[in-house]
């Protein structure tokens, strides 16, 4: 479905400045829905990721390295006529006409040339591993092919450009399409269309089970639904707990830096993985009570372990020569050992003794 169509005549300033201005009549409703990047796809099947720039004067520009590569690949010059067909919010179909008004012959992807020692019918590295993400199993359901795999098997990709097949769990073979994207000066490939969608429906991969988190900032909306916070990585929950203070609210970068430096200190002092230390800590410090009352007001908290851990490190660092990073590292190490020097271990014993007295 077409959302909006417009044409642009290439001017010398568009080539020199490395950006193209969209028409002033670009729909405001569509402009507000645009993300930072959009794809420009030509009839040859190749795509370029370009940057969307919203200027202060109200105009919309397409630029960045993607636009420069797009213009260079098609040898755009003064007088070229481009027709843009906005099929989706982040996808523009582009038809390029020369100064004569005739559509150009689109050049093929400048992939690495074939080697005489390679057999085009065989793949030297016939498999690769891919960690599933939410974009692989939801939405358009496309899966990216690693760049190293494309480079190692360049002869096969040159001879089978655009055609491949997927077999899921012993089922019949389903045809797929290979789309090419130009990003930051290099070509990347992705399998899309119905074949991969069939494999997703057959295998039913889970994002929560297979997605590896490398930075404690997933941007998930874990508070929208009850008990969804159980899917949040435990390190990210620890990071977010450091922002539960009036002057630390919203300082996620600072919290991430504290956790990073704390893990580095733990790695230097203890011959164990810092993630394993954090897991041992939460095994030892969780109070054995269904609902724990914290504070003078008696607020019921069911995540008292994380609260006590960060509160102890913050209180110990107050008016102390040690930094918050060193205090948190000491707290984690003592709590992992079950030592009574840990603030959260002592608080846990107090809470459990009160709970035993009420029985």
Give strand ranges (E) for the chain: 4-9, 19-21, 37-41, 46-54, 60-63, 81-88, 91-97, 143-145, 164-166, 174-183, 186-192, 292-294, 299-301
Model confidence, pTM: 0.43
The angle formed by the CA atoms of residues 76, 81 and 84, to the nearest 5 degrees, is 100
Q: What is the pLDDT of residue 327?
A: 92
339-to-87, 284, 314, 317, 334 alpha-carbon distances in Å: 61, 10, 19, 19, 5
Q: What is the pLDDT of residue 223?
A: 80
Structure tokens at 140: 């358009």
Can you tell me the distance from the alpha carbon of 194 to that of 196, in angstroms, rounded to the nearest whole number?
6
Spans in the chain with pLDDT lower than 70: 1, 108-136, 138-141, 146-148, 150-196, 202-213, 289-303, 355-356, 358-359
Give strand ranges (E) for 98-248: 143-145, 164-166, 174-183, 186-192
Q: What element of type H or E holds 121?
A: none
CA 139 to centroid of chain Cα atoms: 14
Q: What is the pLDDT of residue 189?
A: 61
| pLDDT tens per residue, range 322-350 | 999 999 999 999 999 888 888 888 888 88
Residue tagged 């002057």 (tokens): 247
Q: What is the pLDDT of residue 57?
A: 76
> Which residues share a beta bridge with 88?
91
């Amino acid at each position: 479905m077409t959302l909006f169509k417009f044409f642009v005549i290439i001017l010398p300033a568009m080539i020199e400045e490395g950006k193209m201005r969209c028409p002033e009549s670009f729909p405001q409703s569509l402009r507000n829905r645009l993300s930072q990047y959009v794809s420009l796809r030509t009839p040859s099947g190749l795509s370029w990721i370009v940057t969307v720039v919203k200027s202060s004067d109200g105009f919309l520009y397409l630029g960045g390295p993607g636009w420069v590569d797009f213009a260079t690949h098609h040898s755009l010059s003064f007088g070229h006529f481009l027709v843009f067909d906005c099929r989706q919010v982040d996808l523009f179909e582009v038809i390029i006409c020369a100064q004569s008004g005739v559509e150009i012959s689109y050049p093929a992807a400048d992939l690495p040339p074939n080697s005489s020692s390679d057999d085009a019918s065989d793949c030297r590295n016939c498999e690769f591993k891919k960690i599933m993400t939410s974009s692989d199993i939801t939405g358009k359901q496309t899966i990216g092919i690693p760049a190293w795999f494309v480079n190692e098997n360049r002869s096969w990709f040159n001879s089978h450009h655009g055609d491949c097949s997927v077999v899921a769990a012993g089922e019949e073979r389903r045809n797929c399409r290979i789309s090419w994207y130009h990003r930051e000066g290099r070509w990347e490939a992705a399998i899309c269309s119905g074949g991969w969608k069939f494999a997703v429906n057959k295998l039913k991969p889970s994002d929560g089970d297979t997605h590896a988190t490398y930075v404690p900032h997933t941007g998930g909306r874990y508070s929208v639904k009850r008990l969804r916070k159980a899917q949040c990585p435990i390190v990210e929950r620890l990071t977010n707990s450091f922002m539960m203070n009036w002057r630390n609210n919203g300082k996620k970068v600072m919290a991430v830096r504290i956790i990073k430096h704390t893990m580095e200190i733990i790695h230097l002092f203890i011959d164990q993985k810092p993630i394993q230390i954090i897991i041992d800590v939460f095994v030892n410090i969780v109070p054995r009570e269904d609902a724990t009352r914290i504070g003078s007001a008696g607020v019921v908290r069911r995540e008292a372990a994380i609260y006590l851990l960060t509160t102890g490190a913050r209180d110990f660092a107050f008016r102390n020569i040690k930094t918050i990073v060193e205090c948190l590292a000491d707290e984690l190490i003592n709590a992992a050992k079950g030592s009574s020097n840990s603030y959260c271990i002592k608080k846990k014993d107090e809470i459990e003794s009160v709970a035993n007295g009420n029985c």
